[in-house]
Amino acid sequence: MKRLVYIILLLLISACSKWTETESIQLNYLRPWDQNPELWNKYKASLVDYKASDHFLIYARFDNAPEKAASERNFIRCLPDSLDFVSLTHADNFSAYDKEDMAWMESIGTKVLYQVDLTKKGFTTTGELENYLDKVIASVKENGMNGYSFTGQYVLGNALNESLASVAVAKLSAAKTDGQVLVFEGNPLFIPEADRSKVDFFVLDSENTEYAQDLRFQILTALDYAKVPAAKLLLGADMDGTIRNEEREKCASVPELARRVVSFGPLAGLGISNISSDYYSYDGNYVVTRAAIQLLNPSH
């Protein structure tokens, strides 16, 4: 009997070893554009039509070209398709991967902008800025980007800042071609009054505003004192930021400021910074951004 049991066990072990042998399986991935190219092209065309329509704009500041890409969150192709503008904060390091993604951005009508930070660059003369902007303009042309954004810190009575702002507006607005835009991020008072009409959009520096009452004051300053048209003004919101409403309740910055675009306006739209900080969790930045787009443009 023991001998019979032993034989049966050997047979079972032998059979199991055959069941668990590793076999390679060929997997065929069908991406959306391969499954139904005609439907995919209609989808892209609908995005282009939407962005050409009258709607609230969504602008994103994106940290492109990191030293080492950690995941898809580091590539502009993975941003929500409904974004109107993407401003590249590391445009000086525009990479081969960024260049590769430009075809996709163009096909869905998202404008990619070269961002210039006048404060971080530490320009001490207008000549330094002019030389730098010549390189920026050449890069925009070479890489097929859709315009420029720039930012600077407003300091009352700072003559150098005023000169730098004037040079930036003059050179970049003159360099624009058909369909390109010029955006300023910050306090509109940084731009001399005579130059503000040359800027297409302003993203207000409201990312760190603590209270809704202060936000209202910022908006009124931009509209009434700086004379920025409401149709050109976007509110700035940090993806990880918060703001307190009139009841002093702490609210997430992006959805709350999206609501304020309407209730304190209507204004042109919303600008989002720090968009790639947390991309893949169930309530991550992609989802938050999409929700803001839906909130401001429910039919999309």
Complete domains list, the chain, with CATH: 45-296 (3.20.20.80)
Q: SS3 for 229-241, per residue? A: CHHHEEEEEECCC
pLDDT tens track for 26-62: 655 556 666 778 898 899 999 999 999 999 999 999 9
Q: How confident is the model at residue 1 (pLDDT cuts 50, 70, 90)?
A: very low
On the question of pLDDT at 218 being above 70, the answer is yes
On the question of pLDDT at 140 being above 70, the answer is yes
On the question of pLDDT at 139 being above 90, the answer is yes
Average pLDDT over residues 101-122: 93
| Strand positions, DSSP E, 76-213 | 85-88, 111-117, 147-151, 181-185, 201-204
On the question of pLDDT at 2 being above 50, the answer is no
Cis peptide leading into 266, omega within 30 of 0?
Answer: yes
Mean pLDDT (the chain, rounded): 87
Instruction: Characterize the bridge pairing of strands 181-185 and 201-204.
Output: parallel
b/e per residue 233-264 (b: at least 16 CB within 10 A): bbbbbbbebebbeeeeeebbbbebbbbbbeeb
Whether 113 and 79 have beta carbons less than 8 Å apart is answered as no
DSSP conformational letter for 211: B
Q: How many helices (H) and strands (E) does the chain have?
A: 10, 10
| Residue 186 CB neighbour total at 10 angstroms | 21
Indicate the range of 30-39, 96-105, 255-264 predicted with least confidence.
30-39
Measured CA to CA, the distance from residue 123 to residue 76 in angstroms comes to: 29
On the question of pLDDT at 278 being above 70, the answer is no
Average pLDDT over residues 10-32: 56
Q: How confident is the model at residue 269 (pLDDT cuts 50, 70, 90)?
A: very high
Whether 38 and 70 have beta carbons less than 8 Å apart is answered as no
On the question of pLDDT at 156 being above 90, the answer is no
| Residue 51 CB neighbour total at 10 angstroms | 20
Instruction: Characterize the bridge pairing of strands 111-117 and 233-238.
Output: unpaired
Average pLDDT over residues 88-94: 92
What is the reported pTM?
0.85
